[in-house]
Amino acid sequence: MTPPAASLRPDLAAIAAHVAPGSRVLDIGCGDGALMAVLESVSGCDARGMELDGALVERCVSRGLSVVQGDANLDLANYPDKAFDYAILSQTLQTATRPDLMLDELLRVGRRAFVSFPNFAHWRTRAALLVGGRMPVTRALPVSWYETENIHHVTVEDFRDLARLKGAKVERAWFFSNEKQIGAPAANWRAEFAVFELSR
């Protein structure tokens, strides 16, 4: 039942391809454990997860993954410094109470961090706001403003600024549109999703 890396969401596949084999990894907001399963079975990693949704945690545990039901806003504090080679935060930063503090925690518990997020400056989002005059509901951000969990929308350039402010070095970055990787030029216009690898 080894899941193929190819079945992963593109941002997770990019992360899976760049985690060094045999690493210790914490996947924060691990969902059903798809990335963890690949990291363990394909890359021989020691992967741990954190997930808020109990039903998803149960699915992870029943497939043999080590996942803790917890709130990343609070529970990251219980991990020692540099306990992991990589801390991964996929599509969760924009839901954090304080994304800046969460980024600090990520770079504290992990030697490196992968962060993926939907880019609010993608041209569809801009167009929806500019032309429609409404909070964007797009392919990448499909939920209405009043029920979205995304309480801190962020753009590629905002994230670069935050990383700089936090003294984090951008090691690598990947950008995606329409489920496919795209180049870095004009990413803040063209990317629906971004993945950053950071160190400090």
Partner 1 sequence: MNAAPPVSPVYRLPHPLPLDSGQVLEGCEIAYETYGTLAADKSNAVLVCHALTGDQYLASPHPITGKPGWWERMVGPGKPIDTDRHFVICANVIGSCMGSSGPASLAPDGVPYAMRFPVITIRDMVRGLVALLDGLGIARLHAVVGGSMGGMQALSLAANWPDRAARVLVIASTARHSAQNIAFHEVGRQAIMADPAWAEGNYYDALSKPDNGLAVARMAAHITYLSEAGLTEKFGRRLQDREAKGFNFDAEFQVESYLRYQGSGFTRRFDANSYLYITRAMDYFDIAEEHGGKLADAFAGTQARFCIVSFDTDWLYPTAESRHVVHALNAAGAKVSFVELSAPHGHDSFLLEHDQLDRVVKGFVE
Chain residues 36-95 in contact with partner 1, contact rule CB under 8 A: 46, 48, 54-55, 57-58, 60-70, 75, 78-80, 83
CA contacts within 13 A on the Cβ side of 1: 5
* Shorter beta-carbon distance to partner 1: residue 42 or 83: 83
Question: DSSP H helical segments within the chain, as ranges?
Answer: 10-18, 34-41, 54-62, 72-75, 99-109, 123-132, 156-165, 187-190
Cβ-based burial of 194 (10 A; exposed 0-12, middle 13-18, buried ≥19): buried
Whats the size of the chain, residue-wise?
A: 200
Q: What is the largest CA-CA distance in the chain?
A: 49
Helices 10-18 and 34-41: angle between axes, nearest 10 degrees:
30
Total number of residues that touch partner 1 (CB under 8 A): 22
* Minimum CB distance to partner 1, residue 61 (Å): 5
* Minimum CB distance to partner 1, residue 83 (Å): 6
* Shorter beta-carbon distance to partner 1: residue 10 or 49: 49
* Shorter beta-carbon distance to partner 1: residue 42 or 61: 61
Regarding 22 and contact with partner 1 (CB under 8 A), the answer is no
CA distances from 25 to 43, 63, 108, 114, 162 (A): 11, 18, 13, 10, 23
* Minimum CB distance to partner 1, residue 55 (Å): 8
- The contact pattern for partner 1, residues 109-148, with x = CB under 8 A and - = no contact, is ----------------------------------------
* Minimum CB distance to partner 1, residue 21 (Å): 18
* Shorter beta-carbon distance to partner 1: residue 67 or 187: 67
CA contacts within 13 A on the Cβ side of 141: 33
* Minimum CB distance to partner 1, residue 46 (Å): 7
Return residues touching partner 1 (CB under 8 A).
46, 48, 54-55, 57-58, 60-70, 75, 78-80, 83
